[in-house]
Structure 1
Protein backbone atom coordinates (compact mmCIF):
# COMPACT_ATOMS: atom_id res chain seq x y z
CA UNK A 1 0.00 0.00 0.00
CA UNK A 2 1.14 3.49 -0.75
CA UNK A 3 1.43 6.18 1.87
CA UNK A 4 -1.56 8.03 0.33
CA UNK A 5 -3.72 4.90 0.46
CA UNK A 6 -2.85 4.35 4.12
CA UNK A 7 -3.67 7.96 5.00
CA UNK A 8 -6.96 7.73 3.08
CA UNK A 9 -7.87 4.49 4.86
CA UNK A 10 -7.01 6.00 8.25
CA UNK A 11 -9.16 9.07 7.53
CA UNK A 12 -12.06 6.86 6.41
CA UNK A 13 -11.86 4.76 9.58
CA UNK A 14 -11.51 7.81 11.80
CA UNK A 15 -14.46 9.58 10.17
CA UNK A 16 -16.59 6.43 10.21
CA UNK A 17 -16.39 5.89 13.97
CA UNK A 18 -17.70 7.82 16.91
CA UNK A 19 -20.50 10.31 17.04
CA UNK A 20 -23.91 9.45 15.72
CA UNK A 21 -25.91 12.40 14.45
CA UNK A 22 -28.65 13.42 16.90
CA UNK A 23 -31.89 11.80 15.76
CA UNK A 24 -30.17 8.81 14.17
CA UNK A 25 -31.02 5.29 15.25
CA UNK A 26 -27.83 3.18 15.02
CA UNK A 27 -29.46 0.14 13.42
CA UNK A 28 -31.71 2.05 11.03
CA UNK A 29 -30.56 1.83 7.43
CA UNK A 30 -32.81 4.60 6.17
CA UNK A 31 -32.31 8.32 6.62
CA UNK A 32 -31.59 9.84 10.07
CA UNK A 33 -34.51 10.13 12.45
CA UNK A 34 -36.64 7.38 10.93
CA UNK A 35 -38.26 5.25 13.64
CA UNK A 36 -38.49 1.49 13.33
CA UNK A 37 -41.41 0.07 11.39
CA UNK A 38 -44.64 1.28 12.95
CA UNK A 39 -46.61 -1.92 12.54
CA UNK A 40 -45.55 -5.56 12.44
CA UNK A 41 -47.03 -5.91 8.94
CA UNK A 42 -44.69 -3.19 7.64
CA UNK A 43 -41.62 -4.92 9.06
CA UNK A 44 -39.69 -8.07 8.35
CA UNK A 45 -40.99 -10.88 10.57
CA UNK A 46 -37.47 -11.55 11.77
CA UNK A 47 -36.77 -7.93 12.75
CA UNK A 48 -36.80 -7.99 16.55
CA UNK A 49 -36.86 -4.18 16.73
CA UNK A 50 -40.16 -3.59 14.97
CA UNK A 51 -43.06 -2.52 17.10
CA UNK A 52 -46.15 -0.38 17.32
CA UNK A 53 -46.82 2.81 19.21
CA UNK A 54 -48.84 2.52 22.41
CA UNK A 55 -49.09 5.73 24.42
CA UNK A 56 -45.58 7.07 24.88
CA UNK A 57 -43.76 3.79 24.37
CA UNK A 58 -43.27 1.48 21.43
CA UNK A 59 -44.56 -2.03 22.07
CA UNK A 60 -42.04 -4.48 20.61
CA UNK A 61 -43.25 -7.76 19.18
CA UNK A 62 -39.83 -9.03 20.26
CA UNK A 63 -37.74 -6.60 22.32
CA UNK A 64 -34.09 -6.06 21.47
CA UNK A 65 -31.84 -8.75 22.94
CA UNK A 66 -29.67 -7.99 25.96
CA UNK A 67 -26.64 -7.93 23.65
CA UNK A 68 -28.35 -5.43 21.30
CA UNK A 69 -29.33 -3.23 24.25
CA UNK A 70 -25.76 -3.30 25.56
CA UNK A 71 -24.36 -2.43 22.14
CA UNK A 72 -26.76 0.50 21.71
CA UNK A 73 -26.03 1.77 25.22
CA UNK A 74 -22.28 1.48 24.61
CA UNK A 75 -22.72 3.46 21.41
CA UNK A 76 -24.77 6.08 23.30
CA UNK A 77 -22.05 6.33 25.93
CA UNK A 78 -19.31 6.72 23.33
CA UNK A 79 -21.33 9.39 21.50
CA UNK A 80 -22.27 11.41 24.61
CA UNK A 81 -19.39 10.68 27.05
CA UNK A 82 -18.33 13.82 28.89
CA UNK A 83 -21.22 15.97 27.62
CA UNK A 84 -21.73 18.42 30.51
CA UNK A 85 -24.84 18.46 32.66
CA UNK A 86 -27.15 21.39 31.95
CA UNK A 87 -30.54 21.64 33.63
CA UNK A 88 -33.09 21.89 30.82
CA UNK A 89 -30.42 21.09 28.22
CA UNK A 90 -30.99 18.50 25.51
CA UNK A 91 -27.94 18.63 23.23
CA UNK A 92 -24.20 18.04 23.03
CA UNK A 93 -23.53 21.45 24.60
CA UNK A 94 -25.31 20.30 27.77
CA UNK A 95 -28.03 17.86 28.78
CA UNK A 96 -29.95 16.95 31.92
CA UNK A 97 -30.63 13.42 33.13
CA UNK A 98 -34.21 13.03 31.87
CA UNK A 99 -33.44 14.59 28.48
CA UNK A 100 -30.51 12.21 28.16
CA UNK A 101 -32.84 9.26 28.81
CA UNK A 102 -35.20 10.65 26.17
CA UNK A 103 -32.31 10.88 23.68
CA UNK A 104 -31.03 7.38 24.47
CA UNK A 105 -34.43 5.76 24.06
CA UNK A 106 -35.42 7.76 20.98
CA UNK A 107 -32.13 7.81 19.09
CA UNK A 108 -30.80 4.38 20.01
CA UNK A 109 -33.98 2.31 20.55
CA UNK A 110 -36.57 4.20 18.49
CA UNK A 111 -38.82 4.65 21.55
CA UNK A 112 -40.53 7.78 22.78
CA UNK A 113 -40.48 8.35 26.54
CA UNK A 114 -41.72 11.35 28.57
CA UNK A 115 -39.46 14.39 29.03
CA UNK A 116 -39.23 14.85 32.79
CA UNK A 117 -37.91 12.53 35.48
CA UNK A 118 -41.24 12.65 37.32
CA UNK A 119 -43.12 11.66 34.15
CA UNK A 120 -40.60 8.90 33.43
CA UNK A 121 -41.02 7.68 37.00
CA UNK A 122 -44.74 7.15 36.31
CA UNK A 123 -44.03 5.07 33.19
CA UNK A 124 -43.19 1.43 32.73
CA UNK A 125 -43.48 -1.49 35.12
CA UNK A 126 -41.82 -1.46 38.53
CA UNK A 127 -39.01 -4.00 38.99
CA UNK A 128 -37.29 -5.12 42.18
CA UNK A 129 -33.74 -3.82 42.55
CA UNK A 130 -32.46 -7.39 42.69
CA UNK A 131 -34.03 -8.06 39.27
CA UNK A 132 -32.68 -5.10 37.26
CA UNK A 133 -31.76 -5.80 33.64
CA UNK A 134 -29.99 -3.95 30.86
CA UNK A 135 -32.26 -1.17 29.57
CA UNK A 136 -34.20 -0.64 32.79
CA UNK A 137 -34.61 2.94 34.01
CA UNK A 138 -33.22 3.43 37.50
CA UNK A 139 -34.43 6.32 39.69
CA UNK A 140 -32.94 8.09 42.69
CA UNK A 141 -34.36 10.61 45.16
CA UNK A 142 -31.48 13.07 45.39
CA UNK A 143 -33.17 15.75 47.47
CA UNK A 144 -36.43 16.62 49.16
CA UNK A 145 -38.07 17.35 45.82
CA UNK A 146 -35.41 16.29 43.29
CA UNK A 147 -34.97 13.05 41.38
CA UNK A 148 -32.34 11.56 39.09
CA UNK A 149 -32.62 8.90 36.37
CA UNK A 150 -30.26 6.63 34.48
CA UNK A 151 -30.43 3.49 32.35
CA UNK A 152 -28.91 0.18 33.38
CA UNK A 153 -26.17 -1.05 31.04
CA UNK A 154 -25.85 -4.34 32.95
CA UNK A 155 -26.95 -5.58 36.38
CA UNK A 156 -24.43 -3.36 38.23
CA UNK A 157 -23.80 -0.17 36.26
CA UNK A 158 -25.93 2.57 34.78
CA UNK A 159 -25.48 5.31 32.20
CA UNK A 160 -26.63 8.81 33.13
CA UNK A 161 -26.02 12.53 32.90
CA UNK A 162 -24.34 13.29 36.23
CA UNK A 163 -24.73 16.79 37.63
CA UNK A 164 -21.01 16.90 38.49
CA UNK A 165 -19.33 14.95 35.66
CA UNK A 166 -21.79 15.01 32.78
CA UNK A 167 -22.59 11.85 30.84
CA UNK A 168 -20.89 8.91 32.50
CA UNK A 169 -21.28 5.37 33.80
CA UNK A 170 -21.69 4.81 37.54
CA UNK A 171 -21.98 1.78 39.79
CA UNK A 172 -25.31 1.07 41.44
CA UNK A 173 -23.31 -0.19 44.43
CA UNK A 174 -21.66 3.21 45.08
CA UNK A 175 -22.68 4.39 48.58
CA UNK A 176 -24.32 7.59 47.23
CA UNK A 177 -26.48 5.71 44.72
CA UNK A 178 -27.30 2.98 47.24
CA UNK A 179 -28.48 5.61 49.73
CA UNK A 180 -30.58 7.59 47.21
CA UNK A 181 -31.96 4.62 45.20
CA UNK A 182 -35.74 4.93 44.73
CA UNK A 183 -36.98 2.38 42.17
CA UNK A 184 -36.44 0.70 38.82
CA UNK A 185 -38.87 0.77 35.90
CA UNK A 186 -38.90 -1.54 32.88
CA UNK A 187 -40.17 0.15 29.73
CA UNK A 188 -39.51 -2.67 27.24
Structure 2
Protein backbone atom coordinates (compact mmCIF):
# COMPACT_ATOMS: atom_id res chain seq x y z
CA UNK A 1 0.00 0.00 0.00
CA UNK A 2 2.81 2.44 0.88
CA UNK A 3 4.48 1.83 -2.51
CA UNK A 4 1.18 2.62 -4.30
CA UNK A 5 0.92 5.99 -2.60
CA UNK A 6 4.49 6.90 -3.63
CA UNK A 7 3.71 5.85 -7.21
CA UNK A 8 0.50 7.92 -7.31
CA UNK A 9 2.28 10.92 -5.78
CA UNK A 10 5.01 10.67 -8.42
CA UNK A 11 2.43 10.53 -11.23
CA UNK A 12 0.59 13.52 -9.75
CA UNK A 13 3.79 15.57 -9.45
CA UNK A 14 4.81 14.70 -13.01
CA UNK A 15 1.38 15.72 -14.30
CA UNK A 16 1.63 19.09 -12.57
CA UNK A 17 5.08 19.69 -14.02
CA UNK A 18 3.93 18.84 -17.52
CA UNK A 19 0.86 21.05 -17.20
CA UNK A 20 3.12 23.92 -16.09
CA UNK A 21 5.36 23.42 -19.13
CA UNK A 22 2.35 23.62 -21.42
CA UNK A 23 1.56 27.20 -20.46
CA UNK A 24 2.34 29.56 -23.34
CA UNK A 25 2.10 33.02 -21.88
CA UNK A 26 4.31 34.87 -19.44
CA UNK A 27 3.65 34.11 -15.80
CA UNK A 28 3.76 37.43 -14.00
CA UNK A 29 1.58 39.34 -11.62
CA UNK A 30 1.45 42.93 -12.84
CA UNK A 31 0.71 45.62 -10.23
CA UNK A 32 -2.50 47.56 -10.88
CA UNK A 33 -0.45 50.75 -11.23
CA UNK A 34 0.65 49.56 -14.71
CA UNK A 35 -1.65 49.51 -17.71
CA UNK A 36 -1.48 47.69 -21.02
CA UNK A 37 0.09 49.92 -23.64
CA UNK A 38 -1.61 51.14 -26.78
CA UNK A 39 1.13 53.36 -28.13
CA UNK A 40 0.67 55.18 -31.42
CA UNK A 41 2.60 53.81 -34.42
CA UNK A 42 4.16 57.27 -34.78
CA UNK A 43 6.45 56.42 -31.84
CA UNK A 44 8.16 53.49 -33.59
CA UNK A 45 10.95 55.65 -35.07
CA UNK A 46 11.63 57.59 -31.85
CA UNK A 47 11.78 54.30 -29.90
CA UNK A 48 14.23 52.85 -32.40
CA UNK A 49 16.39 55.98 -32.48
CA UNK A 50 16.57 56.21 -28.68
CA UNK A 51 17.35 52.50 -28.33
CA UNK A 52 20.21 52.70 -30.81
CA UNK A 53 21.74 55.79 -29.14
CA UNK A 54 22.26 53.63 -26.04
CA UNK A 55 24.52 51.14 -27.85
CA UNK A 56 27.65 50.69 -25.73
CA UNK A 57 25.91 51.49 -22.42
CA UNK A 58 27.30 49.15 -19.75
CA UNK A 59 25.22 46.33 -18.30
CA UNK A 60 24.18 46.71 -14.68
CA UNK A 61 21.77 44.33 -13.00
CA UNK A 62 18.74 46.34 -11.88
CA UNK A 63 19.95 49.41 -13.77
CA UNK A 64 17.67 51.59 -15.85
CA UNK A 65 19.74 54.65 -16.73
CA UNK A 66 22.45 55.43 -19.27
CA UNK A 67 24.98 54.81 -16.46
CA UNK A 68 24.07 51.11 -16.64
CA UNK A 69 21.03 48.97 -17.40
CA UNK A 70 19.74 45.43 -17.67
CA UNK A 71 17.40 44.26 -20.44
CA UNK A 72 14.07 45.27 -18.89
CA UNK A 73 15.57 48.49 -17.52
CA UNK A 74 16.75 49.27 -21.06
CA UNK A 75 13.28 48.71 -22.54
CA UNK A 76 11.56 50.63 -19.76
CA UNK A 77 13.96 53.56 -20.13
CA UNK A 78 13.66 53.68 -23.94
CA UNK A 79 9.85 53.67 -23.93
CA UNK A 80 9.60 56.21 -21.12
CA UNK A 81 12.05 58.59 -22.83
CA UNK A 82 10.75 58.27 -26.40
CA UNK A 83 7.04 57.47 -26.06
CA UNK A 84 6.19 58.62 -22.53
CA UNK A 85 5.04 55.14 -21.49
CA UNK A 86 6.34 53.61 -18.26
CA UNK A 87 6.80 49.84 -18.26
CA UNK A 88 7.64 47.88 -15.11
CA UNK A 89 11.28 46.89 -14.66
CA UNK A 90 10.50 43.20 -15.18
CA UNK A 91 10.69 41.22 -18.43
CA UNK A 92 7.81 38.84 -17.72
CA UNK A 93 5.56 41.75 -16.67
CA UNK A 94 6.39 43.65 -19.87
CA UNK A 95 5.50 40.51 -21.83
CA UNK A 96 2.22 40.16 -19.98
CA UNK A 97 1.27 43.81 -20.64
CA UNK A 98 2.14 43.72 -24.34
CA UNK A 99 0.21 42.10 -27.18
CA UNK A 100 1.44 38.84 -28.78
CA UNK A 101 2.27 38.94 -32.50
CA UNK A 102 3.78 36.40 -34.84
CA UNK A 103 7.50 36.55 -35.49
CA UNK A 104 6.77 37.21 -39.16
CA UNK A 105 4.80 40.35 -38.17
CA UNK A 106 7.65 41.95 -36.21
CA UNK A 107 8.21 45.64 -36.96
CA UNK A 108 10.85 48.02 -35.66
CA UNK A 109 10.11 48.85 -32.02
CA UNK A 110 8.39 45.55 -31.18
CA UNK A 111 9.67 43.24 -28.45
CA UNK A 112 11.49 39.95 -28.76
CA UNK A 113 11.65 37.61 -25.75
CA UNK A 114 14.02 34.79 -24.94
CA UNK A 115 14.27 31.91 -22.52
CA UNK A 116 17.89 32.24 -21.39
CA UNK A 117 17.40 30.44 -18.06
CA UNK A 118 13.63 30.56 -17.55
CA UNK A 119 10.64 31.68 -19.64
CA UNK A 120 10.69 35.40 -20.47
CA UNK A 121 14.08 35.92 -18.81
CA UNK A 122 15.56 38.20 -21.50
CA UNK A 123 14.23 40.69 -24.02
CA UNK A 124 15.20 43.26 -26.61
CA UNK A 125 13.73 45.72 -29.10
CA UNK A 126 13.43 44.58 -32.70
CA UNK A 127 15.10 46.93 -35.20
CA UNK A 128 14.38 45.12 -38.49
CA UNK A 129 16.29 42.76 -40.76
CA UNK A 130 16.12 40.00 -38.09
CA UNK A 131 18.14 42.16 -35.67
CA UNK A 132 17.39 43.51 -32.22
CA UNK A 133 19.04 45.80 -29.70
CA UNK A 134 19.33 44.66 -26.08
CA UNK A 135 21.33 44.82 -22.84
CA UNK A 136 22.99 41.41 -22.41
CA UNK A 137 24.42 40.45 -19.03
CA UNK A 138 27.98 41.24 -18.06
CA UNK A 139 29.08 37.65 -18.68
CA UNK A 140 27.98 38.13 -22.32
CA UNK A 141 30.11 41.19 -23.16
CA UNK A 142 27.76 43.31 -21.07
CA UNK A 143 26.99 46.37 -23.13
CA UNK A 144 23.87 47.42 -25.01
CA UNK A 145 24.38 46.04 -28.50
CA UNK A 146 22.71 44.76 -31.67
CA UNK A 147 22.44 41.01 -32.26
CA UNK A 148 20.76 38.78 -34.81
CA UNK A 149 17.71 36.63 -34.14
CA UNK A 150 19.40 34.15 -36.48
CA UNK A 151 22.50 33.76 -34.29
CA UNK A 152 22.65 30.25 -32.89
CA UNK A 153 22.37 31.41 -29.27
CA UNK A 154 19.26 33.56 -29.75
CA UNK A 155 17.61 31.34 -32.38
CA UNK A 156 17.66 28.44 -29.90
CA UNK A 157 16.23 30.58 -27.09
CA UNK A 158 13.65 32.68 -28.96
CA UNK A 159 10.38 32.57 -27.05
CA UNK A 160 7.93 35.18 -28.25
CA UNK A 161 7.29 38.38 -30.20
CA UNK A 162 5.04 41.10 -28.77
CA UNK A 163 4.13 44.70 -29.40
CA UNK A 164 3.18 47.77 -27.39
CA UNK A 165 1.86 49.58 -30.45
CA UNK A 166 -1.77 49.96 -31.56
State the TM-score, normalizing by the size of structure 2.
0.70
Q: 1:173 to 1:144 in 2, by over 3 A?
A: same
Query: Offset of 1:57 from its aligned partner?
Result: 4.4
Which one has a larger percent strand, Structure 1 or Structure 2? 1
The question of 1:183 aligning with 2:157 is answered no
The question of 1:87 aligning with 2:65 is answered no
Pick the aligned partner of 1:123 from 93, 97, 100. Answer: 97
The question of 1:172 aligning with 2:118 is answered no
Structure 1 residues 33-89: Cα deviation after superposition (integer angstroms, max 9, x where no partner): xxxxxxxxxxxxxxxxxxxxx9524534x521xxx62454134322x2211111111
DSSP-derived class of the 2:117 partner? coil
> How far apart, in 2, do the equivalents of 1:107 and 1:57 lie?
17
> How far apart, in 2, do the equivalents of 1:109 and 1:132 lie?
19
Which one has a larger percent helix, Structure 1 or Structure 2? 2
> How far apart, in 1, do the equivalents of 2:146 and 2:93 lie?
23
Q: How many residues align?
A: 130
* Cα RMSD, aligned residues only: 2.1
Segments of 5+ residues of structure 1 without an aligned counterpart are 1-53
The question of 1:74 aligning with 2:49 is answered yes
> How far apart, in 1, do the equivalents of 2:118 and 2:46 lie?
35
Larger RCO, structures 1/2 (Cα 8 Å, 6+ apart): 2
CA contact (8 A) 1:70 1:154 kept: no
> How far apart, in 1, do the equivalents of 2:62 and 2:50 lie?
23
Pick the aligned partner of 2:78 from 101, 104, 114. Answer: 104
Instruction: Kindly report which structure 2 residues correspond to 1:1-20, keeping only aligned pairs within 5 A, or say none.
Output: none
CA contact (8 A) 1:57 1:111 kept: no
Identify the residue that residue 18 of structure 2 maps to in structure 1.
Answer: none
Query: Offset of 1:135 from its aligned partner?
Result: 1.3
Query: Offset of 1:94 from its aligned partner?
Result: 1.4
Q: 1:93 to 1:183 in 2, by over 3 A?
A: same
State the TM-score, normalizing by the size of structure 1.
0.62
> How far apart, in 1, do the equivalents of 2:120 and 2:38 lie?
30
